């Protein structure tokens, strides 16, 4: 018998037990990277009172550890944003911005198997924490990937910036919203932004090139009040319910397109009824024999970049809230689907965009595969950049992972996390290199 066989068998067994270690990290590096991730996850940055001071201090210390300059900007009081810079050889080239938000959504700890800020690593290698998918993983992966590249002696051609931003989960006005208006931002000369995506249950990573715009709409109705026993036309409830029926039919038709596989979720107009308000209150409930003179409904409408916004608004004005039926409407939030140049705020996700080619190639080189580019169904900070005409992709490298963002028991497996570091190592290397003259000012202006 070959004297190495028992040793080989031991190695195979060890590999089977621990999972295949990604090639780019030694096992001690992997262990250290996982514990740094856990440390970040344990900082309670849940809305509505995130510990931003602690998160900013942690990111600053991580940047320092890997030898990167950083500064903490307080563009809005109490909302620190950490800007990290990895200088390239040629600062005249458009830079790369790697964005991640530091806040997370609230959780209900008693509904979790592990406390949402414990970052417990269970026996199957899952790390449980609020923010493990959305999106502390990505923020740390950027840093870890740069750490590996620096250790390997790589220097980027273009400048690379990392932003760790507050308030994404509450709309981003005091985060990226304030940042893109700042003087500092204007000097960064950003050519491409990478921001968050979504986990993928299959083995292809998901990539987003645009997102739906929220149109939060309130429809109000007025009508003749009257006795609850009387049948008559023109009550506020009757006027509003007619609209609700029409809106429901439209919702069903859009949803049917998704169910039939004709359109992706991000490509239809979604509508959900988020509140109904009517009635004449009493101390114990509502008056039951009175038809009220006012009623209103709240709608969360999400509009894809492919939609015709004028046609949709006409539909709202003429069919959903016609003044002829004594209805009015108001947008509580109406994010434009066009950028400041009047074009749909999407980033070209095909071979005509050199950034896209580099990104796709980089993921492939690291052994990953991208699925068909999608429109993000909800909102992310990427919209602030696309609105300015700056290309931005949404990408969180989590394959074979259930989508648990904002859900109970949000987790990410240790191996998937480590694999993501390698994916970013490849992406940053590829995007940081000045490949001929493919990405110059001219190309950037065209995109």
Known binding-site residues equal 101, 134, 169, 196, 406
The single residue among 119, 127, 135, 247 that binds Zn ion, judged by CB under 5 A, is 135
Instruction: Report the nearest approach of Zn ion to the CB of residue 195 (Å).
Output: 9
Question: Is there a catalytic annotation at residue 374?
Answer: no
Q: What angle do CA 2, 3, 6 make, to 5 degrees?
A: 100
Instruction: Report the nearest approach of ligand NAG to the CB of residue 326 (Å).
Output: 4
Peptide bond into 48 cis (omega under 30): yes
The helix/strand count (H/E) of the chain reads as 12, 19
234 binds ligand NAG (CB under 6 A): yes
Report DSSP state, residue 265: G
The single residue among 118, 189, 254, 326 that binds ligand NAG, judged by CB under 6 A, is 326
Choose between 239 and 380: whose C-beta lies nearer to ligand NAG.
239
41: CB partners within 8 A, 6+ apart: 117, 119, 127, 129, 130, 131, 132, 136
Q: Which residue is nearest to Zn ion (CB)?
A: 134
Q: Which residue is nearest to ligand NAG (CB)?
A: 234
Instruction: Report the nearest approach of ligand NAG to the CB of residue 322 (Å).
Output: 9
In the shown chain, the binding pattern of residues 184 to 223 toward ligand NAG, with x for contact by CB under 6 A and - for none, equals: ---------------------------------------x
E runs forming strands in 42-138? 69-73, 81-86, 95-101, 120-121, 126-128
Cα distance between residue 433 and residue 156, in whole Å? 6
- Binding at 223: pick from Zn ion, ligand NAG, none (beta carbon under 5-8 Å per type): ligand NAG
Determine which one of 103, 195, 374, 410 is catalytic.
Answer: 103
Token readout for 269 is 């107009």
- Binding at 67: pick from Zn ion, ligand NAG, none (beta carbon under 5-8 Å per type): none
Token readout for 126 is 């899952």
Q: From the CA atom positions of the chain, what is the Rg in Å?
A: 25
Choose between 247 and 431: whose C-beta lies nearer to ligand NAG.
247
134 binds Zn ion (CB under 5 A): yes
* Binding site listing for Zn(2+): 101, 134, 169, 196, 406
Residues 4, 10, 16, 19, Cα dihedral to 10°: -90
Interface with ligand NAG (CB under 6 A), residue total 5
- Binding at 134: pick from ligand NAG, Zn ion, none (beta carbon under 5-8 Å per type): Zn ion
Q: At what angle do helices 136-151 and 52-65 cross, to 10 degrees?
A: 20
55 torsion bin: left (phi>0), alpha (psi -120 to 50), beta (else): alpha
- Binding at 234: pick from ligand NAG, Zn ion, none (beta carbon under 5-8 Å per type): ligand NAG
Cα distance between residue 218 and residue 158, in whole Å? 46
Question: Is there a catalytic annotation at residue 233?
Answer: no
Q: Which of residues 182-221 bind Zn ion (CB under 5 A)?
A: 196
- Binding at 301: pick from Zn ion, ligand NAG, none (beta carbon under 5-8 Å per type): none
Choose between 28 and 324: whose C-beta lies nearer to ligand NAG.
324
The single residue among 99, 100, 239, 347 that binds ligand NAG, judged by CB under 6 A, is 239
Peptide bond into 135 cis (omega under 30): yes
**Residue 350 phi, psi dihedral angles, 5° rounding:** -150, -175
Determine which one of 29, 159, 168, 430 is catalytic.
Answer: 168
Token readout for 425 is 């190592």
**Quick check: helix, strand or coil at residue 285?**
strand
Contacting range for Zn ion; rule: CB under 5 A; set: 15-23, 92-100, 130-138, 267-275: 130-138
Are the beta carbons of 427 and 396 closer than 8 angstroms?
Answer: no
- Binding at 193: pick from Zn ion, ligand NAG, none (beta carbon under 5-8 Å per type): none
Strand bridging mode 281-282 / 285-286: antiparallel
The single residue among 325, 406, 408, 434 that binds ligand NAG, judged by CB under 6 A, is 325
Catalytically active residues, by annotation: 103, 168
Footprint of Zn ion (CB under 5 A)? 134-135, 196
Footprint of ligand NAG (CB under 6 A)? 223, 234, 239, 325-326
């Amino acid at each position: 018998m070959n004297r190495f066989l028992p040793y080989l068998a031991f190695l195979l067994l060890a590999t089977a037990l621990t999972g295949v270690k990604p090639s780019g990290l030694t096992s001690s590096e992997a262990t250290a990277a996982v514990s740094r991730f856990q440390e970040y996850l344990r900082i309670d940055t849940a809305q509505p009172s995130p510990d931003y001071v602690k998160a900013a201090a942690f990111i600053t210390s991580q940047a320092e550890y890997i030898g990167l300059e950083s500064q903490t900007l307080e563009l809005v009081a109490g909302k620190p944003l950490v800007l990290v810079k990895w200088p390239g050889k040629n600062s005249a080239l458009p830079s790369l911005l790697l964005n991640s938000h530091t806040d997370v959504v609230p959780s209900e700890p008693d509904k979790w198997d592990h406390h949402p800020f414990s970052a417990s690593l269970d026996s199957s290698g899952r790390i449980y924490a609020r923010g493990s998918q959305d999106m502390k993983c990505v923020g740390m992966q950027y840093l870890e990937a740069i750490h590996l590249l620096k250790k390997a002696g790589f220097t980027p051609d273009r400048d690379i910036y990392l932003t760790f931003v507050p308030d994404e989960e509450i709309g981003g006005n005091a985060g990226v919203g304030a940042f893109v208006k700042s003087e500092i931002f204007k000097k960064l000369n950003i050519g491409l932004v990478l921001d968050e995506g979504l986990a993928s249950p299959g083995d292809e990573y998901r990539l987003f090139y645009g997102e739906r715009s929220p149109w939060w709409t309130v429809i109000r109705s007025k009508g003749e009040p009257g006795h609850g026993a009387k049948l008559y036309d023109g009550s506020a409830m009757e006027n509003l319910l007619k609209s609700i029926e029409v809106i429901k039919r439209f919702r069903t038709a859009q949803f049917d397109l998704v169910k039939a596989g004709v359109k992706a979720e991000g490509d239809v107009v979604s509508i959900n009824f988020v509140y109904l308000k009517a009635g004449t209150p009493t101390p114990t409930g509502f008056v039951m024999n009175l038809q009220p003179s006012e009623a209103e409904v709240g709608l969360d409408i999400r509009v894809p970049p492919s939609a015709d916004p004028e046609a949709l608004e006409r539909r709202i004005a003429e069919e959903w809230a016609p003044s002829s039926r004594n209805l009015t409407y108001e947008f509580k939030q109406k994010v434009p689907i066009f950028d400041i140049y009047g074009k749909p705020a999407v980033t070209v996700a095909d071979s005509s965009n050199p950034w896209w080619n580099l990104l796709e190639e980089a993921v492939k080189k690291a052994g990953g595969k991208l699925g068909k580019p999608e429109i993000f169904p909800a909102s992310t900070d990427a919209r602030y950049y696309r609105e300015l005409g700056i290309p931005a992709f949404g990408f969180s490298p989590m394959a074979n992972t259930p989508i648990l963002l904002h859900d109970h028991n949000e987790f990410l497996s240790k191996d998937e996390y480590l694999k993501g570091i390698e994916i970013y190592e490849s992406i940053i290397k590829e995007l940081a290199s000045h490949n001929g003259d493919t990405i110059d000012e001219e190309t950037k202006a065209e995109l």
